[in-house]
A = this chain, B = another copy of it.
């Protein structure tokens, strides 16, 4: 059953925010309007908020072209996000009925969800339920994650901007490190996000160029981390240079599976969802270097800055995020359901890419890691292939709209009370 007249769309954001996720939201909105849908609702805090009946009419937020441009330049999840995994259908059918009742009441034809792995699991389950119950609503996923770990897509929107920020910031930190001489040298350890995948940490190598050596070592979570070899490497580097910069993923672990941050009696944070809070890897390594080598050390965590730095966004990334949002809406409009939009790279140089639509069942709950052959044999740096892969994704800038010296973001009166 399909309605002859187009009715409404609902869109949500889920998982960790990025600098590009709102550009996808702008893309979904624009394509929905262009294709004749009446209302575009935005669920607040993803499907979790939807279940509580919390949503907005996006036309009150994107009122003109300038709003759309501001939205593309606004970091974090404009609609609010959640980390919420739907139960299996057979575990709580009532919940699914509740969601579909809400969607029916809102006269929804298309449900677009912008997010990562967990979000694609949501699309999978809701589209499965639609098939079981004969609902005509189409569910399509729009990829988003700075972690770049979604399966079946060349890369994910959000990654390019985070990579550009990391490359830029690491380069500035390296340069800063050259300024001072220390009698025993110094080791700067930069901690970058990534529990299981090293895509972000590898992007630190983008700092390398004619005017910068890049970091001296890069350690990613795909490979076991050897503390002794690391200390030895730092020692050797300090023989030839005064300032050593090492980049590590937050999730690096030793061969026995223990996170590096657990190697010390640090306060053991666990968040509300039972996830271990992995901040402190760089600090633990600094303590070890300080003890073993006795040189000056500095631990730097890029923290949430790396996912929120819209002021340093990649043009390729922001435009792709917008296109992918539009492609998700187009797919849903044309009848696809249980699908996610993917990006297919046609060429590295000149960079060309297009979108496809793939079965979400093959994507959800899978993790794409950095291939072993894109890391050098010693496991301490990315190869040229890695750089060839990531370089096109950081090209071009999106000039922030500056007001009084600070970038302006999209904000409507009372907006914050919604979240």
User: What residues of chain A have their CB less than 8 Å away from a CB belonging to chain B?
Assistant: 17, 45, 74-77, 80-83, 164, 167-169, 171-173, 175-184, 206-207, 209-213, 242, 267, 269, 271-272, 279, 287, 290, 296, 298-301, 303-305, 307-312, 314, 391, 394-397, 402-411, 416, 419
Contacts and interface: CB of A to CB of B under 8 A. Distances in A.
A402 B308 CA distance: 21
Q: Of residues A75, A83, A310, which shows the largest number of chain B Cβ atoms within 10 Å of its Cβ?
A: A75
- Which 8 residue pairs are nearest across A and B when measured between Cβ atoms? A211-B411, A394-B405, A176-B308, A172-B308, A77-B179, A17-B179, A76-B176, A76-B175
Contact of A301 (B176, B178, B180, B301): B301
A252 B98 CA distance: 51
B314 A178 contact: no
A164 B405 contact: yes
A73 to B, nearest CB: 11
A318 to B, nearest CB: 13
Contacts of A405: 164, 167, 206, 314, 391, 394-396
Contact of A406 (B177, B287, B394): B394
A211 B78 CA distance: 12
27 contacts: A45-B181, A74-B175, A75-B172, A81-B180, A168-B311, A169-B309, A171-B407, A172-B309, A172-B310, A173-B308, A175-B308, A175-B409, A178-B416, A182-B272, A184-B272, A210-B411, A211-B408, A211-B410, A211-B411, A212-B411, A269-B290, A298-B304, A300-B305, A312-B312, A391-B405, A394-B405, A394-B406
A78 to B, nearest CB: 9
Nearest to A48: B181
B411 A180 contact: no
A404 B209 contact: yes
B311 A312 contact: yes
A409 B171 contact: yes
Q: Of residues A82, A182, A211, A395, which shows the largest number of chain B Cβ atoms within 10 Å of its Cβ?
A: A211
Contacts of A269: 290
A185 to B, nearest CB: 11
Given A76-B176, A81-B179, A300-B301, 6 more contacts: A75-B172, A164-B405, A175-B308, A175-B409, A181-B419, A206-B406
